[in-house]
Amino acid sequence: MEMNKKSVVSPMIKRTWANKKRKPAAICYVVENGKRVQKSLGVWGTQDALDAYTRLVAEIAGNGTQCEEFSNVSVAFLCAKFYEDAERRADDPKLKFDRRELKHYEIVIRHLVRLYGDTPANKFTASCYRAFREHLVIIAPDVEREQCGVYSDTRENRAKKIVGKPKYRTVKKSWSENYVKKLMNYLKMIFSWGVGHDMVDQPVAARFKHVESLRSDLDVHESRLDVSDDIVKRTLPWLSPTVRDMVIIQRQNALRPNEVCYLRVGDIDRSGEFWTVMKLTKTKVPMIIKFCESDRKIIERRIRNKGADEFIFTPAESMQETWCLRSSQRKTPVQPSQRKRAELAAESKLDAFAQSYSPSSYRNAIRYAIQKARRNGEMIPFWTPYQLRHTAVTVTSYEHDRETASLLAGHTNLITTSIYEHKMERVKEDLARERQAYWTEE
């Protein structure tokens, strides 16, 4: 009954009880949460003890711990266990788990526990599913913020304790239809995970597949549209040089906002004729981006004196450029004492900036630039960075074909590319010109 030394279970040993009437017991030791715990397996030398030992080793090898029996668990307990497992996967570098997904898990869990925390997981019906979706559409955006408390797993309070005091702010706009669907997919993921860990019956997770899709009459955002290149060109002079370069790189290569924000120096392969970046799409499919000569000049200018782990576009660099521009436009001379105070203040301010832009700060920088242009009489329509991706796909599909646009965007399905296409207006304009030319010739 001995095991390999690499196992987390120690070899079984014989133990004789003080009372001689009782038979010797078979025990082993298991490390749980950093503590050595004794496990009793029955009577020493029997087949039942050997079977229990074999089963225990298999459970630890497959699940990392001994299997627990769950019955009538609540939704709060299920969510706490799911989040605990998600944090474990996020800390494991081999799994390549995106930690930014935890924020969306927290949003779903926070509202799900608030509404159905005490409800048994096996009694979460399709009606509860629809009601929770209505809550995400109508109520949740008004009380939600980006960072809030995280649910912890404690058996005393049924895994419902919130660590950290939640802070809320009023959000006037509702969530988009696609984002609501994304959050509902996370809800399905929680219950599917519960099925795989014997916490939820399989019919509970299967019944969500038969619920009708989100109704179009709900108060949700309309789908994104493309933005005209003329509007983008009118916005560029009002942007800082760093954000201006980010807009150009994103528009040229149909990147998502987070892809251009988190682009690092080490991600770029500079060995070939074209500088390339290998990245994984949302579906974990490898995709290669090749930068043209103009993009290469922008990146080459930005990566000077930077390490491989540093981000190409940083807020600190953008603010330095803004301060230099303001200093050059100053009309009164700068005194030596003022220059010294400014240098000391600049060093402390640069340390307070984030290492990279986030999609939200990138979007805000564009919005502030448009507001500044409007204050100076340039009435530029508001647009967001993600619309640049729609524009790139639309123009490529219009000038070439849908398959080429799909390759540029990194889509594995042409149906997905069709969502990004908004070339109907361009085609109608071309048809109008042809008709005009036809009747003019006659």
Q: Is the predicted pLDDT of residue 222 greater than 70, yes or no?
A: no
pLDDT number for residue 336: 78
CB–CB of 264/277 below 8 Å? Answer: no
pLDDT number for residue 169: 39
pLDDT number for residue 42: 65
What pLDDT, in 10s, does the model give residues 370-415? Answer: 999 999 998 999 999 988 999 888 888 888 888 888 888 888 888 8
- Rounded distance between C-alpha atoms, residue 62 and residue 69, angstroms: 16
CB atoms inside a 10 Å sphere around CB 264:
16
Both structure tokens of 205: 């997770």
Of all residues in the chain, what percent carry a pLDDT higher than 70? Answer: 66
Overall pTM surpassing 0.95 (yes/no): no
Of all residues in the chain, what percent carry a pLDDT higher than 90? Answer: 10
pLDDT number for residue 440: 57
CB atoms inside a 10 Å sphere around CB 180:
21
- Rounded distance between C-alpha atoms, residue 61 and residue 58, angstroms: 5
pLDDT number for residue 7: 38
Strand partners, 13: 27
**Per-residue pLDDT band at 142 (split at 50, 70, 90):** low
Domain boundaries, the chain: 13-63, 75-210, 229-314+355-425
CB atoms inside a 10 Å sphere around CB 268:
20
| CATH fold for the domain made of 229-314+355-425 | hpI Integrase; Chain A (1.10.443)
412 three-class SS: coil
Q: How far apart are the first and last CA of the chain?
A: 99
CB–CB of 236/155 below 8 Å? Answer: no
What pLDDT, in 10s, does the model give residues 96-106? Answer: 677 778 888 88
CB–CB of 53/40 below 8 Å? Answer: no
Q: Is the predicted pLDDT of residue 416 greater than 60, yes or no?
A: yes
CB–CB of 240/225 below 8 Å? Answer: no
Q: In degrees, to the nearest 5, what angle opens at C-alpha 432 toward C-alphas 428 and 438?
A: 145
What's the Cα-to-Cα distance from 223 to each of 138, 175, 390, rounded to whole Å?
18, 11, 11
Highest mean predicted confidence (pLDDT) among 18-22, 49-53, 160-164: 49-53
CB atoms inside a 10 Å sphere around CB 233:
10
- Mean pLDDT score across all residues of the chain: 75
